[in-house]
Amino acid sequence: MSELTDRRREEKDRRRSEILDAAAAAAAEGGFDAITMDQVARRARLSRALVYVYFEDKAALYLALYERALELLLEQFARATQDAPNGLARLAAMGNAYVAFSQEHPVHFEALARFEARNSSDLQQLSGHCLSLGDSGHAQLIAAIRDGIADGSVRADVGTPDAVAMALWGFMHGVIQIAATKQALLARRDTDPAQLFEHAMALTMRALGSAT
């Protein structure tokens, strides 16, 4: 590959990233539903026509934000689990990393939540890379469960690793959404998001952890 080709590819990647940054900023300010391609173009300081070269419509833009969210989440998982001593500790680290991701990257968490709330038939819209990213996150949960059973930190009768991984994701995803959208209700129930996360993680670890 020539140096010129490399520079063109780098420029294309940079411009695509700038457009996604602009879309995320627009979503943070006015919400996903208020995003327009004109608004994104102005924020990215690009022409509307050029934005359409990279993303044919808002659906393609949303899909790219979802893909970026998966990439950011996997990076968070990698950092959180690198020093975990056993399978259960890795599961705890991933749970805490998911909570941290939702707080540090609220727009990208919403991108995840919005896309994952759609019908499963929409999977056909995903690129191979996007599917691979989602599969990677699920595989990491499964591996931690299996390794935990093998090293004795996770109870042997916990269940089928695939199903347990889905249940863990569904539980923590729901807890995070409640914390983000039901703060007034939490206050009426004499709790707050931090307490909710703490108790959710404690319940999860008690349910998974081996007695030995």
Is 124 found in the same domain as 68? yes
> 3-state DSSP call for residue 209?
strand
Q: Is the pLDDT of residue 3 over 90?
A: no
Residue 51 confidence (pLDDT) = 95
Q: Look at the chain and report how many structural domains it folds into.
A: 2
Domain boundary among 14, 37, 56: 56
Please give the Cα distance from 98 to 176 (Å, whole number). Answer: 9
Q: Same structural domain for residues 41 and 106?
A: no
Range of the domain at 146: 58-208
Classified as helix, coil or strand, 154 is strand
How does pLDDT run across 102-138, given as a tens digit for each residue?
Answer: 999 999 999 999 887 765 555 555 667 788 898 999 9
In this structure, the answer to whether residues 9 and 93 fall within a common structural domain is: no
Q: What is the pLDDT of residue 4?
A: 73
Query: Do residue 178 and residue 201 come from a single domain?
Result: yes
Q: CA nearest 17: which of 6, 28, 9, 5?
A: 9
Instruction: Using pLDDT thresholds of 50, 70 and 90, give the confidence band for residue 1.
Output: low
Flag whether pLDDT at 43 surpasses 90.
yes
pLDDT given at position 127: 65
Between 58 and 118, the higher pLDDT residue: 58
Q: CA angle, corner 74, sides to 52 and 24, nearest 5?
A: 35
**CATH number of the CATH domain containing 105:** 1.10.357.10
Q: 64 and 49 in one domain?
A: no
Q: Using 50, 70 and 90 to split pLDDT, how confident is the model at 210?
A: confident
**Residue that terminates a domain, selected from 39, 56, 73:** 56
Report d(CA 87, CA 164) in Å as an integer. 13
32 and 3 in a common domain: yes
pLDDT tens digits, one per residue of 84-101: 999 999 999 999 999 999
pLDDT digits (tens, 9 = 90+) for 69-87: 999 999 999 999 999 999 9
From residue 104, alpha-carbon distances to 31, 100, 127 in Å are 17, 6, 26
* CATH number of the domain where residue 24 is located: 1.10.10.60
137-196, pLDDT tens digit by residue? 999 999 999 999 999 999 999 999 999 999 999 999 999 999 999 999 999 999 999 999
